[in-house]
Amino acid sequence: MTARATCSLTLVLAVFTPAAFAAESARILDGKVIFQAQKCDMCHGVSSAGITPTGKIKAPDLAGRAAKRDAASLGKYLRQAEAIGGKKHLKAFTGSDEEIGALIAWLQKQNAPNKSK
pTM above 0.75, yes or no: no
Band the pLDDT of 113: cuts 50, 70, 90. confident
Residue 18 has pLDDT above 70, yes or no: no
74 falls within a domain = yes
15 falls within a domain = no
Residue spans of alpha helices (H) in the chain: 3-28, 31-37, 71-78, 97-109
95 falls within a domain = yes
22 falls within a domain = no
Q: The CATH number of the domain where 103 resides is what?
A: 1.10.760
Average pLDDT, the chain: 82
- Spatial separation of the C-alpha atoms in residues 109 and 63, rounded to whole Å: 8
Tell me what pLDDT residue 16 has. 45
| Number of domains making up the chain | 1
72 falls within a domain = yes
Residue 55 has pLDDT above 50, yes or no: yes
53-62 contacts at long range (C-beta below 8 A, 24 or more positions apart): 57/90, 59/90, 62/107, 62/110
- Spatial separation of the C-alpha atoms in residues 35 and 82, rounded to whole Å: 20
Q: Which residue has the higher pLDDT, 116 or 107?
A: 107
5 falls within a domain = no
Tell me what pLDDT residue 58 has. 82
Q: Which domain holds residue 97?
A: 30-109
10 falls within a domain = no
Residue 70 has pLDDT above 60, yes or no: yes
- Spatial separation of the C-alpha atoms in residues 2 and 101, rounded to whole Å: 45
